[in-house]
Each structure stands twice: as structure tokens, then as C-alpha cells.
Chain A
């Protein structure tokens, strides 16, 4: 984890390559295996996932812990987390020395791939819409507009391994007919400008908009013309995947999901459509809610774990609520047979104590575990696809597990992030005031 090795030649094209194993059947969308390689980074076997960062850090985890105890393929970084000072001057990240400023600034392990997107995932809804030249973003000091020109400029300087083109996505609102007409045009125009930049050595992923296929028909068809320049597709809506032109070079591009899957079942569904790489907000939601994810694909390997499902009417929970005092003296790991750092060194009793005492380490350990569970999940999925049993295994998984993650019962960590934007004056405070006698803790 030293300073990122320089990628030689500042104007050289990205070294990203993606190989799909086996014969590709273009005509039918299907789960597929691939390998994403970028010079100087670890190769990633797909399907796989990228961690979601906040201000360049995976919440709760210091960079050494990420490097030693988690195995995501890369990290999703939002530009809006770094440019609050853009309205008054140059954002500090633009002054970072060296050839890989994003890596250098965020202290990420060099083996990790950085993926730069304009906005966080999920993104805070902006009150003002996008324009022909810019989108609305939400920084730590409020809303700003980010022009495509500025975005290209950031890309040229920051050199993320992968950059997602600016997209005209109306986060949170349903666009009207007139607006829909513009979305494809704007996005295509912005992508064209990004691809024309001679100083970008990042791999450009073209955004696929969360609107009907026919509404972005022209844009999607034109992607074919860019196919030699774009290095991947980023889906704001995974349902568009079957509509992507299937006969061409476009089909061989890696596909990234920004579709915010709400459960592992949803991940499996997207994989069955041919999705390769995921960003998964529910990992962080579960961690903050004090939930230890607890699922394996297609079902637990150890027989002792198999709960008696009897006639099949009961299904197993996808997670364990660690706030529950039933764990307070348990020396069991978060999930049986889990080999993550949290489960090998610690036990439920400690994690329950940490949550109850509101000690930050509780969320750090859960975050380590939850990332590990997902890494394992994807590794078994790859195995399953390789063996040709993926479809049947998905059915097993669906029968075995509940459809949604458990509800949260306890409090999350102290909410201090600006990203938790209040939705209106009537909204309840995120942090409930503590009990009068809550003690000041060192």
C-alpha cells in the first residue's frame, strides 16, 4: 500500500481489459463469468462487487483494514464528495501530487480499482434539475451544479481507473415526456465530450439511463459507434440489460450495476441478466443497522446450520440483528463457519456489547464481516456459473432464504454525515437525544 505506482504516459489510453470466459451467446442474456484487468491493480473475477465509499473512505474502515480484511474488487468514489470548495476555488484534491491523485489522496491500497462517478450511490435528490450543460450535485456544503466541462477536467486530473460518464439522471423524480426526450441526447453529448478528451487515461463507462429502451433508443444505438472507445456500461436500471444491442462489441463490455439492489435475490436476478459488477448499498445499510449479514450461496454448506424448514414454509433470515440482547453472552461468530477477521477474533457477545455501548468498533467489525459475506457470495456464484448450476442454485437460494433483509431494531451509528439530508421540516431527528443519564464516555 505505497503511493500508487505511476501509470506511465499521461495521455495513453486505459489499460483496462475484460475477458468473458467461454463462448458468448449474444442473443440471450445470461449469467456470465469474466475477468477485469487493469495494469497495476488486482484482477477481478466477475460477477463481483465494488465497495461504496463516502468522502473516499469505506465507512467505518481505515485503509489498512480495508486492505487486510476485505476483498472487494474496487471502490466506488463520488466526485461530489470532493468538490465542495469548487465554488470558491480549486478543490484540494486537484492539487494532490503524483499521477494517481485519487488513490494517493484516499490512501486506498494500490491493488484496488478506483471507480469515479459524479454522484454518490444512492444520491441525494436535488431540488433543481439538470441543464443542457450541467447536473445538480450535493456536496458537504450544499447543492452545486457540475458541468460536463468541469467533469472532464476533473477526470483528466484525477485519473481514476474507471470513470462513469456524466448522465442526465433525475434522481428521485419521475421525468416527464419532454424531459425524457432530452435525457438521451444530453447524456450522449456529454459522453462524446468525455471520450474526446485526450488527457483522460481512465476507462470510460457509458451510463445507461433509467428510462425505457425506446426513449434512449438513439443513444443506445449510437453506443455501437463508440464501442472501441468506451470500456464498460454503467446501468442505472438493470432492466435495460436485455435491450442492449447484443450482436456487437458492446455486448463484450463489462457491465456495472448502479441499480441499488435491495437484497441478494436482486443481485442474483441481475446476474442472470448478465450483470458483471455491482455496487451494493445494502451492505452499508445493514452495517449501520447493526445487522450481520448471514447468507451463503446457494445455501449454508454446514449441515448444522440448516434450520429445519419442515414443509418448506419457513425460510432463513438473511441477517442477524446484533442489537438483540440474546447475543450478549454468545461466544459464537457472527455467522457459523465465517472466516472473516471479526468472526475469527471476536464473537457475538463483544459486538452486541459494542453496539449497545455505541462504540465505533462495533460498526467496523460488522462492516468487515458484511463485506466478507458478499465476497464469499460472489465467489460461490462464480463457482456455480462455472459448473453450469447457476439457475438451479438460484432456485435453492430463493427457497431457502427470506426475500428481504431483516428490519433494523436498534439505532445506527451517530449520524453526523451531511449526506443524510433532511427531507423536510417535519422529519424526525436522526439522532434521538440520549437518555438524561447517558454518560459522557471517554
Chain B
């Protein structure tokens, strides 16, 4: 494939690099989107169906969130494009004043609907409403996202699990994703108000990833995502892909790694040069009574917390844990008392977990700006695992690639 010469593409964002880590590839940046600026690196919680697990938009705002996800596939089903059109988009539907990002809908179709299959036209699937055959094309995905009005929209891509052994199929998917990107760009009706991101594919094959980076960077989208990961590949392989891609991407564009959210994955991926992440894990795990802390995840349904009157996490400044200043003084014992019995338990844990993720990234950013990210990483892993012998090998290896030795 020859390198494509792009038509000039409008962009609805500005990207300002605020600082660079002098050791790792970590960066701090300010990304200004149609609904206001966000600070990178950034974690984005997922409000699948235009609502985040029972939180009011006001409560989500209070965690500091200024950019969250909606899923195009779900919004396409409910409330549907027609309603979205009439209501005036997803911001208006959910009363959210800040930024939204939507996925293309393709990934969820492939992962949720077993009967989906992919052709050059698009993703063929059976309607979950009545079983009739349907087709999601790049044009349809963009049209839906145009109606949703999200600040960042994603191209439809041909996603394969990275662990697929079929190299020919993987290459086909990568090349098709490039072709679909061209169709998405052509179909995009609002390039001055919505930012289309391309998605780098190519599985775990670094050469294929390089080829894809080259093709897609040439198309000059306002931002770039690294896709197809978090699908069960070895963490070491994941890190190699991210590291390879960020090495080839333009410095002055945001880099979004899709579907990543475990704290360890976040801090390592930032060191490898990625800026933006999303994952349902923090909010999903809240539903099961889990609180994320810097010392690991606590399952508060466990009877040992029944009389633990401490905050969910010592020193946490979220609305639940905060003492005074309007804080709720929620205790582990109280969550233990209501978890699984009243949805409020999940709401409170969601507030804490989202805060945890956003606060982690705020601290990451601060460390980058103060050029002490290597020290931050060392403290992070010390808090999480206490004993160096317990540090996951992949984290140690990945950080060595960018000049940080956790074992020092």
C-alpha cells in the first residue's frame, strides 16, 4: 500500500504539550475539545447508555470528570437515532455539559452478538430486537455518532482479538480498517465540531502495526487510538505494541489506548507514551462491592469489613471518603451493610472508584510536570505490592524499556 496523501482535515480540538518526562515517554498535555479542556493523561469512565451507574451528571462532574464515554451501539438501540435526532444529541439527552466520546459500535457488536460477521461493506448482524439481518457500515456508524454529537467520535474498524493466530485475516482486518477510515472521513458531516479518531490495528505483529500507523497517520485525523488490545493478550505483548505505536505517532496529537483501566496498566501505558484510556472495570467492579485503593482492590462484601468504620480508603478525598467539607463519611462497614441489597451501595462505590481513577491520573500528570514520574512509578508499585518479589514481571520489563528500573 502506498502512503496516502490526505486532504486537509479540519479539527475541532487543540492539543498543547505541557511537559515531557525526561526519562520515560510520558507526557502531560492539555486537550481542548468543543465542550472544554481536559488534562492529559486522562482516564475516561464509561456511561454506556448515557448514564453512569446511577450517578447524576452533577455527581459525575464532582469527581472531576470532564470527558466520559457513551456507547454508540447501545444508544443506537435505545433511545435510537430518531429520538437522539429529535432531542438534539446525547449531551442534551443526559444533561451533560462536558465532553463525550463515543466508540464506533463495531467492537461491541462483534463482542456482544455472536452472529455478527464482517464483510467489506460493514458488520452484518441480526437485530437484537427482532432477529432481522442488519448491516453496520462505516457510514452508518459515523451518521449515528454525528447525531449523538459526541466531541470525539471513533472510526468503524475491523477488530480481531489480538491473540488470533490467523495472520492473513489479521492483515485483512488492518487493511480494511484503513479503507473504512477513508469511508468514515468521507462520511463525517461535522468535522468542525466533532473530532474523528482513527484506530491503529494489526494485532501483536509489530510490523503490521507500523504499517498501519504509517497509513493512518497520513490521514491526519485530530487524534489517534491504538485498538484491538485488552483482549486477553499477554501484558508483555501489549506493552510492546503500545511502545511501538507511540514511537511512530506524531507528538502533537492525543493517543488513546482503548479498553484499558487497571491502575497498573494505566501508569505503565502512560510511561510508554499513551495519553487517554477508558474502561468499564472501575464502575462494573463497584457493583460487586469492590473499592479500588492504592493498596489494591477491597471486596467490601467480605464479613471482615462489617465493623470497619474507616473510610473506603485512608486519605481519599472523594465525596464518600472525605471527612468534613461536605464529605459523606461513608465507612467500609456501611458499604458492607448495603452492598448487594441497596443500589446506593453501588452508587457510592462508583463515586469512589471513578474518583480514584481520575485522581490517579491527576497525580500522574503532576509527577510528569514536576519531572519525577520514575519516582512516582516506584512509589505506586511499592504501595500496591509492598514486596518487590510480588511486582508483576511484565511491569518491570515494560518500564525497563523506557528507562525505569523498579528493582533498583
Contacts and interface: CB of A to CB of B under 8 A. Distances in A.
Interface of A: 1-3, 54-57, 59-65, 82, 85, 92-93, 95-97, 104-107, 140, 328-329, 331, 341, 345-347, 349-350, 352-354, 356-357, 359-365, 413, 416-418, 437-442
Contact of A350 (B46, B95, B340, B341): B95
B381 to A, nearest CB: 28
Contacts of A60: 54, 343-344
A56, A65, A361, A418 — most chain B CB neighbours (10 Å):
A361
A349 to B, nearest CB: 5
Nearest to A439: B112
Interface in B288-311: 306-307, 309
A441 B343 CA distance: 16
A97 B310 CA distance: 11
Interface of B: 46, 48-59, 71, 74, 78-79, 83, 86-87, 93-95, 112, 128-129, 280, 283-284, 306-307, 309, 319, 323-324, 326-331, 333-334, 336-338, 340-344, 346-348, 351
Q: Is the interface of A mostly helix, strand, loop or mixed?
A: loop
Given A62-B59, A329-B86, A442-B46, A361 B51 contact: yes
B56, B78, B307, B351 — most chain A CB neighbours (10 Å):
B56
Contact of B344 (A61, A347, A365): A61
B49 to A, nearest CB: 4
B59, B340, B342 — most chain A CB neighbours (10 Å):
B342
22 contacts: A3-B329, A55-B337, A57-B338, A60-B343, A65-B59, A105-B331, A329-B86, A345-B58, A349-B83, A353-B49, A357-B74, A360-B51, A360-B53, A361-B53, A361-B54, A364-B54, A364-B56, A364-B347, A438-B128, A439-B74, A439-B112, A441-B48
Contacts of A345: 56-58, 95
Given A61-B344, A106-B334, A416-B340, A2 B324 contact: yes
A60 B50 CA distance: 18
A120 B46 CA distance: 36
Contact of B348 (A62, A346, A437): A62
Given A60-B343, A442-B280, 16 more contacts: A55-B341, A62-B59, A64-B59, A82-B337, A93-B337, A107-B334, A331-B87, A345-B56, A345-B57, A353-B50, A353-B93, A357-B78, A359-B54, A361-B51, A439-B74, A442-B283
A410 B42 CA distance: 39
Given A97-B309, A353-B93, A59 B344 contact: yes
Contact of B79 (A55, A82, A93, A349): A349
Contact of B341 (A104, A140, A341, A352): A140
Contacts of B54: 60, 359-361, 364
Nearest to A438: B128
A230 to B, nearest CB: 31
Contact of A95 (B50, B307, B330, B351): B307
Nearest to A59: B342
B309 A329 contact: no
Nearest to B281: A442
B341 A439 contact: no
Contact of A356 (B79, B128, B280): B79
A442 B284 contact: yes
Nearest to A98: B309
B337 A107 contact: no
Nearest to B337: A55
Listed from nearest, the 7 A-B pairs whose CB atoms lie closest are: A360-B54, A442-B280, A437-B128, A329-B86, A361-B51, A442-B48, A357-B49
A57 B283 contact: no
Contacts of B351: 62
A371 to B, nearest CB: 14
